[in-house]
A and B are shown apart, each in its own frame.
Chain A
Amino acid sequence: MSSHTYAKKPVYPLLGVAASVSVLVLGLLFAKSLAVFYFFGAAWLLFFCMGYRRACIAVLTAALLLGAVFAAATYLISRNVPAALAAVARITAVCLAVTPGLGMPPSYLVRSLSALKLPRVLVLGMLITFSFVPLLRKEAAQVREAMKTRGAGSIFNPSIFYRALLIPLIVRIASISDTLALSVETRGFTLDNTPYTVYKPVSPGAKDIIFTAGFAVCIVLLVLHL
Chain B
Amino acid sequence: MENQNDKGIDGAAAVQQTGGKLLVRDVVFLAVISAVTLLTCSIMPLVAGVPLFGLPHLVTGLQLGLFYAIGIMKVRKTGALLLMALFTGVIQLMMAPVMFLSNIFCGIIIEAVIYFTSRGFKSTLSVFLAAALFNPLSLPFNYFYNLAVGKGNLAEVVSSQPWIAVLMSLAVVTVTAAGALAGIKIAGELKKSGALKR
A residues with a Cβ closer than 8 A to B are 16-17, 20-21, 24-25, 28-29, 66, 70, 87, 90-91, 94, 97-98, 100-101, 121-122, 124-130, 132-133, 136-137, 166-167, 170-171, 173-178, 180-182, 184-185, 189-191
- Among residues of A, the one whose C-beta sits closest to the C-beta of B92 is A101
- B88 on the interface (CB 8 Å rule)? yes
State the Cβ distance, A30 to closest chain B Cβ, in Å: 10
- Among residues of A, the one whose C-beta sits closest to the C-beta of B42 is A133
Q: Pull 9 A–B residue pairs with CB atoms less than 8 Å apart, ordered by A.
A: A21-B93, A21-B94, A25-B97, A126-B90, A127-B31, A174-B190, A178-B197, A181-B25, A184-B24
The answer for the CA separation of A178 and B70 in the assembled complex, in Å, is 15
- B166 on the interface (CB 8 Å rule)? no
Which stretch (B45-53, B109-117, B157-165) binds chain A?
B45-53
Query: A24 to chain B: which residues have CB within 8 Å?
Result: 94-97
- B129 on the interface (CB 8 Å rule)? no
Chain A residues touching B, majority SS = helix
State whether A173 and B190 are in contact (beta carbons under 8 Å apart), knowing that A94-B48, A121-B83, A129-B88 are contacts in the complex: no
Count contacts on B: residues with CB < 8 A to the other chain.
42
18 additional contacts, CB 8 Å, given A178-B25, A178-B197? A21-B97, A24-B94, A24-B97, A97-B95, A100-B94, A126-B31, A126-B90, A129-B31, A129-B90, A136-B39, A170-B196, A171-B190, A171-B195, A173-B32, A173-B36, A174-B74, A174-B197, A189-B24
Query: B33 to chain A: which residues have CB within 8 Å?
Result: 173, 177
State the Cβ distance, A27 to closest chain B Cβ, in Å: 11
| Contact present for A124 and B27 (CB under 8 Å) | yes
Query: A90 to chain B: which residues have CB within 8 Å?
Result: 48-49
State the Cβ distance, B94 to closest chain A Cβ, in Å: 4
In the complex, chain B residues 122-164 whose Cβ is within 8 Å of any chain A Cβ: 149-151
Contact of B28 among A21, A25, A94, A177 (CB under 8 A): A177
Query: A184 to chain B: which residues have CB within 8 Å?
Result: 24, 28
- Among residues of A, the one whose C-beta sits closest to the C-beta of B74 is A174
State the Cβ distance, B101 to closest chain A Cβ, in Å: 11
State the Cβ distance, B78 to closest chain A Cβ, in Å: 13
The answer for the CA separation of A182 and B48 in the assembled complex, in Å, is 39
The answer for the CA separation of A17 and B93 in the assembled complex, in Å, is 8
- B91 on the interface (CB 8 Å rule)? yes
State whether A101 and B151 are in contact (beta carbons under 8 Å apart), knowing that A129-B31, A181-B28 are contacts in the complex: no
- Among residues of B, the one whose C-beta sits closest to the C-beta of A100 is B94
Query: A167 to chain B: which residues have CB within 8 Å?
Result: 186, 189-190
The answer for the CA separation of A173 and B94 in the assembled complex, in Å, is 25
State the Cβ distance, A97 to closest chain B Cβ, in Å: 6
| Contact present for B35 and A94 (CB under 8 Å) | no
| Contact present for A177 and B32 (CB under 8 Å) | yes
In the complex, chain B residues 20-66 whose Cβ is within 8 Å of any chain A Cβ: 22-25, 27-36, 38-39, 45-46, 48-49
| Contact present for A132 and B97 (CB under 8 Å) | no
- B86 on the interface (CB 8 Å rule)? yes
Query: B121 to chain A: which residues have CB within 8 Å?
Result: none
| Contact present for B94 and A128 (CB under 8 Å) | no
State whether A29 and B150 are in contact (beta carbons under 8 Å apart), knowing that A177-B32, A190-B24 are contacts in the complex: yes
State the Cβ distance, A180 to closest chain B Cβ, in Å: 5
